[in-house]
Structures are given as C-alpha cells and as structure tokens.
Structure 1
Amino acid sequence: MVTWRTTVLGQSAIGRVQARWAARAGIERIIATLARHTETPDADDPMAVVRDLEFDWTGTLESGSWDIRHVAEGEEFRGPLDLHSRMSVNTITKLQLGELPEMSIDTVDSILDWRDEDEEVQGIGAERSFYEGRDLGYIPRNAPFKSITELELVAGAWPEYVRGEDWNLNNRLDGNEDDGENATPGDDADGRLDTGWAGYLTARSIDSPLGRSGFPKIRITADTDPAELMEVTGVDEAQANALMAFAETANGVMGPLLSIDLGELVGQPAQNTGRSRGRSTGRTSRNARGGSNDEGISPLDTEQLKAIFAECTMTDFSGPDRIPGKVNLNTAGPEVLALVFNDDASIAESILALRQSRAEGITSIVDLLEIRRIDPDVLSTVADQLDVTGWVYSISSRGISPTGQEIEIHAVVDRSTLPVKIIEYRED
C-alpha cells in the first residue's frame, strides 16, 4: 500500500512538472512570435500578428500540451489578449470613465484624484485627507496607476466592480466563476464571463517609440532633420518646416492634423486648394511639390498623413516614465470602441465594419476619415488614444500533462522594445 501511494504521489508530482513546462512552452512560443513581428513587422498588414498569435493558441510536446485563450467582452478567443484592446486607466477622460457600468460620479473624481499630481480634490472625489482620516494604511499615489488591481484602493472602486466575475484576473472563465453562488465570486452561471471594469481598462499598455516599419519614430521638433522627415513621409520642404513649427506650439500634438489643414495650424493657409477641413477631396497630390511660404503650405494628402502617423511622433520617449498605451483599432471590441467615442455605439459598429471588410484590418487612424459617422474634429480629439497595433499582451497559458494534470501560468509581456520583456508573471 505504501509503495502504491508513493508511486501515485510521484506520478502526480511528475505530472505537475510536465504541465508547468508545457504551459511555459506556450508562453515562450507567444514571445517568439511577438519578437519576430516586432523585429520584422508587416507595415501594410497590422492583422498579421493577430493571425499568427491565434495560430499559436495550442501546441503539443512529448510531455504535454498548452492551451492559450482569453475572454473579451463576453466572447472567448484563441490566443493571448492584446491589452491595447482596452483603454488605459491613466489616460481615460472623466467623461469616458462616467460611461462605465456601475460607475458613480464620486468614484470617477476619486480615480482622477488618485492619478493626478496635486492634492486638490476634484469635484466630490478623494485625496490624501480622505484616506488618512479613515486610517486605511495608504494614501493616493498621485501618479499613474501601476496595475488594474491598484484601482481597488480608490474610494468607491469595490473589487466586485473592478473584477466582475473574473476573480483571479486571468481573462478566462474558470469553474468557480460560472457556478452561481456555490463559490466566490458570486456569478450568474450563464456561461459568459463578466470582466467588470477590468474588461474596459488596463494599466499595463505602453506606447512604443517604434514606427510601423520597425524603426524608431521620428520625433518632430524644431531640431528635426527636415530632409529625413521629407524622405520618410513624402512631405515637401515647406510642409516639413510647418510640421516642425507646429510641434513646438502649445497645441503641438498629432490629432489636429486629421481635421485642420497644416497651413492653417501654423497661420499659413494654402491658396486656392479647394479644401479647408476634414474629409474634403481637395487634398493635394503627394507629388505636388514646391509650395512656398508666399503661396501658403500645401495640405497634407492621405498618403502623407498615413506616413506621418505611422513613422512620426510629437511625444518625448526619452524620459524615465512609461508612456500610456493607446487603444488598438484592430483588436478593441464594440464596447471599448464606443467608450472611446463617448458611448456612441454607431461609430463603434462602423469601425468594426471597416475592420472586417479588409483582411489587413485598419492600417492607419487616417482610415477612419472614410467613415461618414465620424466627424474629423471629434477624431482629432481622441487621436492620441488610438493606434492600429498592440505592444503589451496578457497570456493565460494552461499546461496539460499526459496524465491530465493542469497548471496555469499568467504572464504579461511587453514588445514595445526588443527583447520582449515579461513584466508580470504568476503561476496558479
């Protein structure tokens, strides 16, 4: 009897080891795929990485197999979760926060108070004195959130709101999350995972200094080499100088380029272009050179705009702080897309229709100008929240041994720079 029991325990231990390394193999497979697409990206097909990651969702070894899935907006998908399919809790606006389910006005203000740098209470929010007065043992960070679980420290942000039914935040529907009231958390046993606010928000997404080509983006400043800017984006010398001048203004961000002519942004509108704003067809040809200061600055055409948004930035990546990530138009679901556009479901549906109509997906934020429902002025205000690729992924890899034992590894990986880094890791 003792020998039999020892054998069973030994086989069980071996099974756990096999399942663990099978799960880790799945993690490494995803990392390898992400590294390949970061080093040699297909600039014309941002959906290529999505397809390859979905292909890697399962694999078999001599000692076991792995299974990688995730749930987004109630639907299960194969492969890892692109955290850029969610909004950054560090850049989401007050109006957008207010559209989240179960979100109250005081909690919105408290979230903004937690991440801002000052001690002034916003509206009916909560700053240092509130937390000290209740002897909670902590005070607001007054800096960007580090993780989505940190949100639970904010006044009014209860765990059931943040996590929903996904109690372990692994983005998968586990048995205890679909059994009614039998085990924590309480759920409705409907076969769908309610991910709470964590299904809309993330603190992990990061903006990358890399362009769609895989090379570092050109930071547009007064010191930018105009010749390099002209070569990469196809703009003429006058347009290059205008971009550099605009970048140095108080409003020097990328968004206004989508709704206002470049010449107007720097006080030198083009003459007789037949176009003033938005999606008018009066964009000049990319090959139309020679616009001078006397004649005004020629408007940027569609291809020039796409090149600028793909390979340039007005953001300074040289500092020690991470730049919060943007929402990936190619992986975000309808609820998150509606949230970006202040709960406008019709715009979300139009973006999904555009994305699904092309095998390569949406290749540039400029593509959204084709959607009649999106006003260019509105698009310019949310442009700094949108992109067409993701840099940080959440991987829930479940390893299964030949004897049926399972071990799950949850990892968050960052491919914004090479080599790909694991920034969060836990085993269940």
Structure 2
Amino acid sequence: MNMVLRYTYTKRISSLEHGQALRLLSGKACLAVAPGQTHKTRAKSAKLGLVLVCVMWVVVLLSVIMTTVAHTSRLDTRISLASAEKMRCKWACRAGVETVIAVLNDDFATNYSDSFDDLWAGSPADFNDVPLDGCSFTVEVIDEAGKLNINTATKEQLMELANMTEEIADSILDWRDGDDNIREGGAEAGYYVNLPYGYRNRNGNFRTIREMLLVKGVTPVLMYGGTGNEIFEKSAGWINYLTCYSYEKNVDATGGGRININKANENRLRRSLDIKRSYAGWIVENRGDGFEGIGELITDDSPSKAKRDGGDSDEPQPLDMETFFRIADKITTTDEEMIPGKVNVNTAPAEVLLALFEGDEKIVEDIITTRNSLANGLADIGDMGRVKSFTKKAAKNYIDRLTTRSSVFTVHSTSRAHATGALGKVESVVDRDKSPAKILYQRTGADY
C-alpha cells in the first residue's frame, strides 16, 4: 500500500511543468526531479545566455556605428562650414579688389595726377575692416609707379638698393637682355640649365616681380626681407621697391595727345606749344635722326630764363629752362601709347628716389619737401622746376624717367570670417587705364 502511494505521488510530481518544479524546489520542497530534466534546463539556460550576449554585442556594435556616424556627420558639417567660409572669404577678398578699382576709377576721373593725397591712398573708412555678409575685408593699395622698374633700371640704379651686389645686378641685366653674352658677374643659359632642377633664363623682360627669384643670387630674404616669409609686413625686401608693371600713358596732364618733337614741323611746334620761332627752329635743326628723349632739348647753353626783351629772332636758339619745364609734359619723342618704367615722384619712397637718382640725397630730400608742400603733390613733370637741386644737368639726365601719374596698382586684400576666424588673402595687380580695369596678375592665398 505504501509503495503504491509513493509511486502515485512521484508520477504527479513528474507531470508538473519544469517551472513549477523549480518553484517548489526554491520553496525548500524536498521533492525528487527526474534525472533527464536537469540537462534540458541547463541547455535552455545556455541558449538564453548566448542570446543575451549576442544582443549585448549588437547593442555595442550599434552604439559604435552611431558614434562613428555622429562623429562623421559633425566632421562633414565642419568641412562644409569650412568650405563655405573659405568661399565666403574668397569673394570678400574679391569684393575688396573691386572696391579699390571703383575708387581708382573715381580718382582718375577727377584728378589726373596721383599722390598720397588721393582717395586710393588715404581712405581707411573705405578699406579697413569693411563688413560684408559674415566677413570683413581690409585692403592695401600700392602704386607700382612708385617703384623702380626692373626692366628699365640701369646697373647704377640697381646698385643703390640695400644689399645689392655687383654679381646680382649683372645677373639681373643678363636675365632681361636678349643675348647670351655674360657680364663680369652675371649668368646666362649655361648656368641655369646646369642647376639641379635646371631651367632657361628668359632673355627678355621680367613678366612678374617674383620671377626675380629665378635669378642667380636672389634669395627670398633679399626679395621679401625679414625671414623671407613675412605676411604683408613692411620690410627692406626688394619687392617693396621694384616692379615690372609700371608705365605712363603717353598723354599730357589733361589727357590730350602730346606733340612729337621728332615729327612736328616748325609751325606746329610754335602754335601747339606757344614757343618762340627761334626755339622751334632750333628743335627742327638739331633733331637729326630724332631725339631719344626730351632731356636732349637741354644743352649747356640753355639759359635759366627766357629773355624779357619781347623780341623773337629768326636765328635758332636752345630753349631756356623756364620754357622747357612749361612744355615738358606736352611733348614726347615717340608715338608709342605707353612708356614703360617711369617713376611717379609723388608716390615713390625715399629708397626708390635714391636709387633713381643714383644716390643723390639732396635731390631726394628736395623732391620730398616740394611734394609735401603742395596740396596734391606735383601736378606734372614741369613742376620739377620747383625742386631747388634739380639742376640743368639733372633735368637732362633724369626728366625722361619721371612722371606724376600712375596706371598700375597692386592690391593686397585680406578677409576674415566672423564665425570661424577663417582668413583669405588675394594679391591683384590692376591696370586702371584699361576700360574696364584689367587685372594683370592675381595670386590667391598670397603672403608674398
């Protein structure tokens, strides 16, 4: 009887669900469980644990993916913002250049001579930190006619520049001449083609001022000053004093055509220039194959002032200096529309004037004093007669290298984005005498 009851009770327990058996066991019920049931429970628990681990790894993987996507998105956003700000700065720089062109054109329409009293030289409100759609731009305007032209400068003039040597001066002249004859300290094709990364010299005019860096002996330190990598820093570098762009339009101060003294007959010279018959006759008689420059009208016999007797002899006589300076801006010896290399005495710094006049400090001092004493500087080259030390000899030697007008300007335009502080830099060389104004050279991201 007892065995039957025990079997019946055990059978009942074995029919319970596994979960109920576990709960009974957890309640400290001392009931027996079938031997095969333990293996199944452990297998199922292992499967559940494996699923949990897989889920956890999936969560971790998804977290990594989401973090990477978020980081990439932020990076893409930053790149897009940087690209947008870069483009914004680029066009802000261009806006600075166009602003300068507008000012130069306005100045040209109202004032035919150029000096530091003009709008382009002294209008900080128009050129400094000008706001523009999340950016601001600042521009600096440099008159290229206020520099010594490397394509027309003589060796004596080059030697007046700081740190210039005989070898470099000769190499510059060899670079621009049209032959292969080597000056004493110079260099021609044989030197350049045998360099580690050889190239040929131009044997022609410099086309950009940075082309000088290809010339034997010229280094970035000599060119730019300082360490050779200064950003828009005023220094003793040659780039501040040399150019290859300057020229003067062959017209007078009113924009009218000049009289070519090599072609005009005596009557036209008298009528157009309002000079004496004796002066016109002397010009025609002495021009021979043609004057090379108007300075040749000055001779050792040229008096300082015209005679006041009121007479006009038929006998040819050289011009007096007073008459020469009066007509100097109205005459020419060539029909070329542009005359390269003339230096604007109103805007040239002392270093350039000293090189131009081959070290004559007295003339340089007197020019600066005279131009500062006039409201708008010297009106035309005839005003050089006001300069005390500009003697008859100096006028004969240098008058053909001088002007008071400028055509080509370099514009340094720098922009800054307000949001990110991104910077943009552009250097443009602008010829305002072209219609419309023409950009001759542009360097983006230029420090120098």
What corresponds to 1:154 in structure 2? 215
Aligned amino acid, residue 380 of structure 2: S
What corresponds to 1:426 in structure 2? 443
Which of 358, 362, 374 lines up with 2:378 in the alignment?
Answer: 362
CA shift for structure 1 position 67: 0.5
> Is the aligned partner of 1:235 residue 2:275?
yes
> Is the aligned partner of 1:101 residue 2:101?
no
Contact 2:174/2:188 (8 A) holds in 1 = yes
Written as runs of structure 1 = structure 2, the 5 A alignment for 1:341-420 is 341-403=357-419, 404-420=421-437
Task: Give the direction of change, closer, same or farther, for the CA distance of 1:95–1:301 in structure 2 (3 Å limit).
Answer: closer
CA shift for structure 1 position 65: 2.6
What corresponds to 2:235 in structure 1? 194
- SS of residue in 2 equivalent to 1:366: helix
CA shift for structure 1 position 107: 2.0
CA shift for structure 1 position 160: 2.2
Contact 1:284/1:301 (8 A) holds in 2 = no
Contact 1:392/1:414 (8 A) holds in 2 = yes
Written as runs of structure 1 = structure 2, the 5 A alignment for 1:83-102 is 83-102=144-163
User: Structure 2 CA distance, aligned partners of 1:418 and 1:306?
Assistant: 31
Aligned amino acid, residue 139 of structure 2: I
CA shift for structure 1 position 247: 4.9
Task: Give the direction of change, closer, same or farther, for the CA distance of 1:363–1:138 in structure 2 (3 Å limit).
Answer: same
Contact 1:42/1:48 (8 A) holds in 2 = no
Contact 1:291/1:298 (8 A) holds in 2 = no
Which of 9, 22, 27 lines up with 2:97 in the alignment?
Answer: 27
User: Structure 1 CA distance, aligned partners of 2:92 and 2:401?
Assistant: 37
What corresponds to 2:336 in structure 1? 317
Q: For residues 308-346 of structure 1, give each alpha carbon's deviation from its aligned partner in whole angstroms, at most 9, with x where no partner exists.
A: 33233213416xxx7422111111111111111222333
Which of 136, 145, 148 lines up with 1:65 in the alignment?
Answer: 136
CA shift for structure 1 position 86: 1.0
> Is the aligned partner of 1:252 residue 2:292?
yes
What corresponds to 1:176 in structure 2? none
Aligned amino acid, residue 244 of structure 2: A
Q: For residues 76-99 of structure 1, give each alpha carbon's deviation from its aligned partner in whole angstroms, at most 9, with x where no partner exists.
A: xxxx00011110111111112122
Q: For residues 167-214 of structure 1, give each alpha carbon's deviation from its aligned partner in whole angstroms, at most 9, with x where no partner exists.
A: 4687x12xxxxxxxxxxxxxxxxxxx3242222211121232333212
> Is the aligned partner of 1:291 residue 2:312?
yes
Aligned amino acid, residue 42 of structure 1: N
Task: Give the direction of change, closer, same or farther, for the CA distance of 1:136–1:12 in structure 2 (3 Å limit).
Answer: closer
User: Structure 2 CA distance, aligned partners of 1:414 and 1:308?
Assistant: 27
Contact 2:378/2:404 (8 A) holds in 1 = yes
Q: Which sits farther off after the overlay, 55-64 or 242-251?
A: 242-251
What corresponds to 2:65 in structure 1? none
Of Structure 1 and Structure 2, the greater helix share is in 2
What corresponds to 1:18 in structure 2? 88
Which is higher, the Rg of structure 1 or of structure 2? Answer: 2
Contact 1:26/1:66 (8 A) holds in 2 = yes
Task: Give the direction of change, closer, same or farther, for the CA distance of 1:133–1:52 in structure 2 (3 Å limit).
Answer: closer
User: Structure 1 CA distance, aligned partners of 2:434 and 2:278?
Assistant: 33
CA shift for structure 1 position 35: 2.7
User: Structure 1 CA distance, aligned partners of 2:230 and 2:437?
Assistant: 22
What corresponds to 2:178 in structure 1? 117
- SS of residue in 1 equivalent to 2:138: strand
Written as runs of structure 1 = structure 2, the 5 A alignment for 1:34-45 is 34-38=104-108, 40-43=109-112
User: Structure 1 CA distance, aligned partners of 2:90 and 2:273?
Assistant: 47
Q: Which sits farther off after the overlay, 240-249 or 326-335?
A: 240-249
Task: Give the direction of change, closer, same or farther, for the CA distance of 1:160–1:247 in structure 2 (3 Å limit).
Answer: farther
Contact 1:86/1:199 (8 A) holds in 2 = yes
User: Structure 1 CA distance, aligned partners of 2:101 and 2:284?
Assistant: 37
| Runs of at least 5 residues in structure 2 that lack an aligned partner in the other structure | 1-69
User: Structure 1 CA distance, aligned partners of 2:435 and 2:287?
Assistant: 28
Contact 1:165/1:196 (8 A) holds in 2 = yes
Aligned amino acid, residue 85 of structure 2: G
Aligned amino acid, residue 372 of structure 1: K
User: Structure 2 CA distance, aligned partners of 1:37 and 1:247?
Assistant: 38
Contact 2:145/2:344 (8 A) holds in 1 = yes
Task: Give the direction of change, closer, same or farther, for the CA distance of 1:126–1:237 in structure 2 (3 Å limit).
Answer: same
CA shift for structure 1 position 143: 1.8
CA shift for structure 1 position 215: 3.3
> Is the aligned partner of 1:54 residue 2:119?
no
Task: Give the direction of change, closer, same or farther, for the CA distance of 1:252–1:104 in structure 2 (3 Å limit).
Answer: closer
What corresponds to 2:350 in structure 1? 334
Contact 1:238/1:293 (8 A) holds in 2 = yes
Contact 2:114/2:406 (8 A) holds in 1 = no
Task: Give the direction of change, closer, same or farther, for the CA distance of 1:314–1:419 in structure 2 (3 Å limit).
Answer: farther
| Runs of at least 5 residues in structure 1 that lack an aligned partner in the other structure | 70-79, 174-192, 265-275
User: Structure 2 CA distance, aligned partners of 1:165 and 1:102?
Assistant: 13
CA shift for structure 1 position 377: 0.3
Task: Give the direction of change, closer, same or farther, for the CA distance of 1:244–1:135 in structure 2 (3 Å limit).
Answer: farther
CA shift for structure 1 position 237: 5.2
Identity of aligned residues (%): 29
Contact 2:277/2:314 (8 A) holds in 1 = no
Contact 2:321/2:392 (8 A) holds in 1 = no
Aligned amino acid, residue 114 of structure 2: P
TM-score, normalising length: structure 1: 0.76
Contact 1:41/1:214 (8 A) holds in 2 = no
